Amino acid sequence: MKLVRGTIRPYAWNELGGPGTVRFDAEKGELVVTQTAEVQAEVADLIASLRNKLRTQIMVELTVIECAEPSCERIGVDFIGNAPAGAAGSIRTVTELTPIAKLIREANSGGAVDSARLTQLLAAAKADGNIDILYRPQMLLTEGVVSRFEISQEHKFLTGLDVSMGNDGVVQKPRYEAVREGIRINLTPTLSTDKKTIALTLDYETARLDKMDPVAPVAVSGDPATGEQPPLLLQKPRVQRAATQVEVTVRPGVTAVVVGPKVTRETRTEFALPVVSKIPYLNRLFRNVAIGRTEAQQLILVTAQLQSTDGEPACPEAKVCPQEAKATTEATRLVGEYRKACAAGRSEEALKFAMQALACDPKCFADGR
């Protein structure tokens, strides 16, 4: 009610000396407006615009792809050291391109790809064994509201002991530390006034467990009546964190490609003789296992689509009705026949074509056709 009184003719309401009143009937759930017909029409338009604003929601789909540095070099794209986190369109090619590299280059040349290109890109990533599709979350957001999405798993580690003085003497309590591993996403969508573009503020954070420090055994004094307690094994987990903050503007239904953070992951490679490796038990004597750490680059594919309250996609652009397009084409043809009849001196036939053209499109002669 304050919005109505403050937006539509403030001096026309009784709070400022005007004749009009507005109140809410709680029993019937209705807004009762006592005003002139013109003011009531403005109130109805305001409520309709508010309903339209609330009815439109935004469906956002994120696809996180991780590509190791050797794979990036093999497919012909240099991610490492060239594209800063959060940038779009900054990937450069270094060698002859494979199909997936061409798709990534085309995606980043304009910062966006359509649905067909996105399908091809995901199919090419699945076919490549060294490129992983990590997550594909979907979120239904409201314009201007910060939304948080998290895919994580909690691990607890024994990291220390808390010693305190109690009634029975010194009390030792184990101290546990909870570590979350996964991704955390904060998204804030903003829709343009013409509903043709969507601005997204993306805050992406990833966390994964790194190698553990050596376990430190700690001796704990036990109860003399029950005997000594076994030593506690203390752990100190290391968490690898990386984050990306970026603002991207996309059209509904179009996918933006954002360069994510660089992470370090552990790789395991086995080397064995071609023939001996097929023999059970004997292959263990001729097998070498190499464990290393390589850098990987993450790509974030962001797709936004307008949604209405009933779940149907809201079309941001007005499209020409097929019947209207057909009528316009027929009117253009009839205008051409009308001109031919006029040039040939057939006035009655020209009048007939003119009447038919006007019946199809009343504005067919307005632009000089």
How many structural domains comprise the chain?
A: 3
Segment 27-45 shows an average pLDDT of 81
Question: Are residues 65 and 46 part of one domain?
Answer: no
Q: Is 347 a member of any domain?
A: yes
88 belongs to a structural domain: no
List pLDDT tens digits, range 114-141. 666 666 666 766 666 667 778 888 888 8
Residues 142, 254 within the same domain: yes
46 and 165 fall within a common domain: no
Two tokens at 343?
């040039």
119 falls within a domain: no
* Top-confidence residue, 251 or 2: 251
Contact yes or no for 300/67 (Cβ under 8 A): no
Amino acid at 258: V
Tokens 């209207």, located at residue: 324
Q: Are residues 160 and 210 in the same domain?
A: yes
The residue segments making up the domain with residue 47 are 1-54
| pLDDT tens-place string over residues 309-357 | 554 555 444 343 444 445 567 778 888 888 888 888 887 787 788 777 7
Q: How confident is the model at residue 236 (pLDDT cuts 50, 70, 90)?
A: confident
Predicted confidence (pLDDT) at residue 108 exceeds the cutoff of 50: no
Amino acid 142 reads T
* Shared-domain flag, residues 200 and 333: no
- 34 contacts 5 by C-beta, under 8 angstroms: no
CB atoms < 10 A from the CB of 118, how many? 20
Residue 6's pLDDT band, with cuts at 50, 70 and 90, is: confident
**In this structure, is residue 13 part of a structural domain?**
yes
Could you tell me if residue 184 is inside a domain?
A: yes
- The answer to the question of residue 153 being in a domain is yes
Average pLDDT over the chain, rounded to an integer: 72
Structure tokens given for 260: 């994510």
